[in-house]
A and B are shown apart, each in its own frame.
Chain A
């Protein structure tokens, strides 16, 4: 077995130090070492988006990042979006618009939507669908997700 490495990073605003084997993915680390099970494993090969997280503010698939790569960098997961008192507007919008059924894909969609709205506060339906093409949902048929994203954009623009 390869030797363990010490990694220093910032996850959801907290500085952390942990031991890791080089072949462990960021997804494994988040779930198994930190108990951040909001980030899901769907496919483990970059196709489903259930593992979407922000890596230095950029959307990535945690299954396709090695845990060691986050040394000195920042990671935000779905758990890092809300504060203790209220949901993040994107979460709020998914609840209000029923943008989920089983919910397995939802954390990925929420993180991906946050990345979209940070970059484009008023996306068209086409832009929403293209942006979210890397997130798969087997339940909703997507329409309600698109509605939720539009709702989230409104909430966030009102708060600005």
Chain B
């Protein structure tokens, strides 16, 4: 690996200071499961590695009924799926946390790292998009909050400025009679990257059984994970029965123009998005409470 300086500050203020001082030549280190591989294999211009794991705000999971859930950017997957509150209120987050890499990766890989690495196939991104999460970001100009579906620009590129750090992912409190689920397709059952993935969220009216709101996040079928507004709009007002779900699946297929790469062909991805939209919607429906 190319040499660099290592620092492990304990406050967000220090990180922002260091990022400003080393404009463009600093990288933040959470679990390192993306960063260390990249530093080893690419010609990087990183001179300073800033370990963010000693900052308490980045290591917290908290929940309250008014503000919902906050997942610190550096919390590793294994801590996420051991959280009772997440298991009870946001099972879709567990869906994603428990499929990222294997056990050793899950002990290190964070949701913040997954989001900031901004891969089109990020599983944590799919789950967080379906939940309508927001990114809490701090930089020299203070705090800003950005909806996660506006965070990504291109593969590996996002809206973070060189002096900014992602502090936490915030998820609103779950609505009554809502449910969500994330499913992906990989050739191997575990330790593989999604050929395609879908995260679904639904809120239904208990009396009429009509869908009140919906979010469908499509993963690994566009330059960034995306929310399909056409599918969400189609779902609203309908009841979540087989016919509706079939229509949503067809519409999801029409809404994408995926590419062919080492993981799968465009045609395979189109097919998979249909199947996965159906399955993740069914999973979301089964979890409505």
Quick check: is A23 within 8 A (CB to CB) of the other chain?
yes
Size class of A's contact patch? 35 or more
A22 touching B4 in the complex, CB below 8 Å, given contacts A46-B33, A64-B36, A69-B51: yes
CA distance A134 to B99 in the complex (A): 12
CA distance A115 to B6 in the complex (A): 29
Contact present for B37 and A133 (CB under 8 Å): no
Give the residue name and chain of the A residue nearest to B192 (CB): A133
Contact present for B6 and A68 (CB under 8 Å): yes
Contact present for B107 and A59 (CB under 8 Å): yes
Quick check: is B32 within 8 A (CB to CB) of the other chain?
yes
B33 in complex: contacting residue of A22, A24, A64, A66, CB < 8 Å: A64
Q: How far is the CB of B119 from chain A (nearest CB, A)?
A: 14
Contact present for A130 and B190 (CB under 8 Å): yes
Contact present for A112 and B103 (CB under 8 Å): yes
CA distance A63 to B105 in the complex (A): 11
Quick check: is A58 within 8 A (CB to CB) of the other chain?
yes
Question: Which secondary structure characterizes the binding site on chain B?
Answer: loop
CB-CB under 8 A from A22, the residues of chain B are 3-6, 49
CA distance A87 to B31 in the complex (A): 32
Residue-by-residue, is A115-136 near B (CB-CB < 8 Å gives 1, otherwise 0)? 1100000000000001111110
A1 touching B190 in the complex, CB below 8 Å, given contacts A46-B37, A134-B104: no
A60 touching B1 in the complex, CB below 8 Å, given contacts A25-B36, A49-B102, A68-B6: no
CA distance A8 to B33 in the complex (A): 24
Give the residue name and chain of the B residue nearest to A130 (CB): B190
CA distance A86 to B158 in the complex (A): 53
**Hey, which bits of chain B sit against chain A, CB under 8 A?**
1-6, 8, 29, 31-33, 36-37, 39-41, 49, 51, 53, 78, 101-105, 107-108, 188-191
10 closest Cβ contacts across the A-B interface?
A134-B102, A22-B6, A133-B190, A23-B1, A2-B3, A58-B107, A133-B102, A59-B104, A133-B191, A45-B37
Q: List 26 A-B contacts (CB under 8 A).
A: A22-B4, A22-B6, A23-B3, A23-B39, A24-B1, A46-B101, A46-B105, A49-B102, A49-B104, A58-B107, A59-B107, A60-B108, A61-B108, A63-B36, A64-B31, A64-B36, A64-B108, A65-B32, A65-B108, A66-B6, A69-B51, A131-B102, A131-B103, A132-B102, A134-B103, A135-B102
